[in-house]
Amino acid sequence: MFTGIIEALGRIASVETVGGDRRMRFQAPGYLKGSGLGDSIAVNGVCLTAVEFSDDHFIADLSAETLNLTTAGRWQAGQAVNLERALTPSKPLGGHLVSGHVDGVGRLVGKHEEARSWRMQFEAPAELARYIARKGSICIDGISLTVNEVEGSRFGVNIVPHTLTHTTLGGLAVGDPVNLEVDQIARYLERLLAARNEA
List the pLDDT tens digit at each of the 199 positions of the chain.
Answer: 898 999 999 999 999 998 889 999 999 998 988 888 899 999 999 999 999 988 899 999 999 999 999 999 999 999 999 999 998 777 776 777 888 899 999 999 999 999 889 999 999 999 999 999 999 999 999 999 999 999 999 999 999 999 999 999 999 999 999 999 998 887 778 878 888 888 7
**Rounded to whole angstroms, how far apart are CA atoms 162 and 15?**
30
Which of 32, 23, 26 minimizes the C-alpha distance to 10? 26
Domain ranges within the chain, ordered by starting residue: 8-85, 104-198
With residue 118 as reference, give the H or E element that holds it.
strand 117-123
Architecture of domain 8-85: Beta Barrel (2.40)
Report which residue type is found at 36: G
Q: Tell me the C-alpha distance between 146 and 4, whole Å.
A: 11
Same fold, 8-85 and 104-198: yes
Q: Are 62 and 22 in contact (CB under 8 A)?
A: yes
This prediction's pTM? 0.86
- Look up the CATH architecture of domain 104-198: Beta Barrel (2.40)
The closest of 121, 114, 182, 124 to 149, measured between CA atoms, is: 121
CA dist 174 to 109, 111, 123, 147, 150, Å? 5, 7, 11, 18, 18
Q: Tell me the pairing of strands 57-62 and 143-151.
A: unpaired
